[in-house]
Structure 1
Amino acid sequence: MFKRLRSARQETSCYAGISLHHDGARGALLRALPGDGVRIEALAEARGGDTRGEQIAAVLRDLGARRRTPLTVVLDRGDYALLQIEPPELPPEELTEALRWRIRDMVDFPVDEAVIDQFELPPSQRAGSPRLSCVVAAPPQRLDEIAMAANGTESRAIDIPEMALRDLVMHAQDDHPHAWLYLAPRMALIEILTGDRIWLSRQIELTAGLFQGGEPAAQDMDDLLLEVQRSLDYYQSLYATGPVDSLQVLGMSPAVEAAFVLSAAVYLSVPVARFELDRIEGLDGHDEQQQRQSLLAMGAALREMPCAA
């Protein structure tokens, strides 16, 4: 999402991704194989630590990432704001400052020095619908800390979970809209995609009970199903394109994924299935829980990989 901190791309076969979370950081080192194959070389995590920088440094060390390994770091949801707005009709050189002014009362941090980026949503087929964009804003202090921690790598980028999820599942896309639901402690992320185009991206607050072990409480699951259905309905209302073809579920807990798929098969009107990492080789060397907790890190690594395009 945000521009590369160093723009030169080096010829390499390994790519690293790190995703930041409220309880630490997860990392993945992927190797590009001939054709469009991908293999996991290493997964790592760092919990606790005094700073994000220390967590990133620990994950890079445990991954065995080399100096010339391209790295993408995915922000935690508390590190940035994502806002949907109607963008002003301005030339590109004036747009960033106009967006900064537009969102200044919509975030809880000063925007004067914030890093601003944006991506446009596809136009609606409904007559008279406004043009919409998603604006991403982040305080510079957190980005500077990440950049310093990644200083030993050759190519660096900072991204957001919304883009990491898109990059992870892009190979499974076709010309029809599909929904993807990523489940993590405290937050679910639902996106509707066609290829690399994001039609809808929405974060859903989750109750702690969903990830506390055992069978998720019925009320917690019902609340999540209701929010997912509202998101699907909003997509149809906004774009007037009909329903999505399917909903695929992935996340940091295989048990929660399985429970949602079972419940969704009863309550939702779209086909629902669990997303499988069938494109990536080397999964047998890592247990399922570790794989699922590293999904956004894998998506981050795929961002720079030529075969991901």
Structure 2
Amino acid sequence: MKRLQWPWQRVRNPNRLVVACTEDTFAYVEASIDLRRPYVIKRCGLERRGADSAPAFARRIKALMLPIKDVIAVLPLDRTQILQIETPTVPPEEIKAAARWRIKDMVEAHLDDLTIDVMRLGDGRSRTIQHLYVIAVVNSAINETNALLNAAGMELAVIDICETAQRNLQNAFAEAQGQREGATAALMVHESKCLLTISANDEMFYTRRLEWDETVFGHQPDDAARATATPAYGQGVLSQQTLESVDMVDYSVEVPEFGTAHDTPRLVIELQRSFDVWERSWPDLPLSLLTVHAGAGSASLASIIKRDLGLPVEPMDISTLFSGLDGEAVTAEVLEACVPLLGALLRHEARKL
């Protein structure tokens, strides 16, 4: 198989196809990325395998006549893990091997069953202890994606993960608002999880995965819907690490004393805990904004969080960065599947440790 790139390596083609797929689902966004904003979304959609055989599903995808070269794939959140470690004191060419050894007790899967890469945490500003992100991906997730794309006549070129895709999206919003160098946060709902990222100066400093529960809106989900709902990407195969940064963890921190168990959603409490830790760890980078995406509930969620946290909070207005997502064919289901892919369109330059 052709050697794959990771999203912090250079991608030059301005016309891009980003997908997220498993054996049973295929979400895609085709766009033209140039110097103009809003960027033009040419097509997007969500295909479900249903009763089709694997070859029939691949033929249906091939019939969409999507670009076949330089395809970018965003892996499902539950098929990846991003871990934080102290930067090993080894020569640069040995960092990946050292990181692989360092995380051997932090993952459930055998190291031989994982693809590992590393990425610098933050923007390189001076710290007593420097840290790296270690990205661990189950090989089967890459194999599933590659097999489906190959069967559909497409060539997988770049692998991305939800954290870096979301970082790119929030950085684009920050730049559009003149806050590129300041710290901003983003919260996006992925099925049963929320993904929180904090970035500054185009780099990711912090990430954490939180449980999502629609009771945050003050109502219980419909019991029938809950009983029949199935995750779009199946069950996770990697353990969930609480992604508080290593030098930020403070296990003595109690739940903030605000609200009550009846009027403050658990999600908001966990966000407050993360932001409290952030303020202590990066006092020179105060948070200026939190953007949230929860589909049709984005505005409501932003209002709830703003009420309890007092932080400037806004729903993600995707239309400021992308055009073409408001057509009749773009249903709520399609939009929910495609929005997490948009950030993978936005990285142009090479990234370094």
TM-score (ref. length: structure 2):
0.72
Tell me what 1:72 maps to: 72
1:240-251 to 2 correspondences below 5 Å? 240-251=283-294
1:18-167 to 2 correspondences below 5 Å? 18-20=19-21, 24-32=25-33, 35-48=36-49, 57=58, 60-61=61-62, 63-68=64-69, 70-122=70-122, 128=128, 130-151=129-150, 152-154=153-155, 156-167=157-168
SS at match of 1:254: coil
The answer as to whether partners of 1:247 and 1:270 remain within 8 angstroms in 2 is yes
Tell me how far 1:8 sits from its aligned partner.
9.6
* One-letter identity of the residue aligned with 2:193: M
1:188 aligns to 2:199 (yes or no): no
SS at match of 2:342: helix
Distance change in 2, residues 1:219/1:74 (3 Å): farther
* One-letter identity of the residue aligned with 1:293: A
Q: Distance in 2 between matches of 1:84 and 1:74?
A: 20
Q: Distance in 1 between matches of 2:98 and 2:83?
A: 14
* One-letter identity of the residue aligned with 2:133: C
Distance change in 2, residues 1:188/1:233 (3 Å): same
Q: Distance in 1 between matches of 2:57 and 2:347?
A: 18
Q: Distance in 1 between matches of 2:57 and 2:89?
A: 39
The answer as to whether partners of 1:178 and 1:247 remain within 8 angstroms in 2 is yes
Tell me how far 1:57 sits from its aligned partner.
4.2
The answer as to whether partners of 1:249 and 1:272 remain within 8 angstroms in 2 is yes
Task: Note the alpha carbon deviations across 1:193-225, whole angstroms, 9 max, x for none.
Answer: 1242001111112236569469xxx96971000
Tell me what 2:244 maps to: none
* One-letter identity of the residue aligned with 1:28: V
Q: Distance in 2 between matches of 1:220 and 1:268?
A: 13
Tell me how far 1:271 sits from its aligned partner.
0.5
Tell me what 1:273 maps to: 314
Task: Note the alpha carbon deviations across 1:102-160, whole angstroms, 9 max, x for none.
Answer: 111111100134211111213798974x2121111122232123223233335511111
Tell me what 2:338 maps to: 294
Show structure 1 runs of 5+ residues with no match. Answer: none
The answer as to whether partners of 2:302 and 2:313 remain within 8 angstroms in 1 is yes
Task: Note the alpha carbon deviations across 1:36-71, whole angstroms, 9 max, x for none.
Answer: 5411111111235589x8799478546531223x31
Distance change in 2, residues 1:167/1:64 (3 Å): farther
Number of aligned residues: 295
Tell me how far 1:228 sits from its aligned partner.
1.0
Tell me what 2:272 maps to: 229
* One-letter identity of the residue aligned with 1:272: V
Q: Distance in 2 between matches of 1:283 and 1:305?
A: 26
Residues 117-126 or 86-95, more deviating: 117-126
Show structure 2 runs of 5+ residues with no match. Answer: 175-179, 224-260
Tell me how far 1:83 sits from its aligned partner.
1.0
SS at match of 1:175: coil
1:201 aligns to 2:201 (yes or no): no
Task: Note the alpha carbon deviations across 1:24-46, whole angstroms, 9 max, x for none.
Answer: 34211112356354111111112
TM-score (ref. length: structure 1):
0.81
The answer as to whether partners of 2:20 and 2:26 remain within 8 angstroms in 1 is yes
* One-letter identity of the residue aligned with 1:249: V
The answer as to whether partners of 1:27 and 1:45 remain within 8 angstroms in 2 is yes
SS at match of 2:265: helix
* One-letter identity of the residue aligned with 2:273: R
Distance change in 2, residues 1:267/1:116 (3 Å): same
Q: Distance in 2 between matches of 1:25 and 1:101?
A: 34
Percent of matched pairs sharing the same residue: 24
Residues 226-235 or 168-177, more deviating: 168-177
* One-letter identity of the residue aligned with 1:116: I
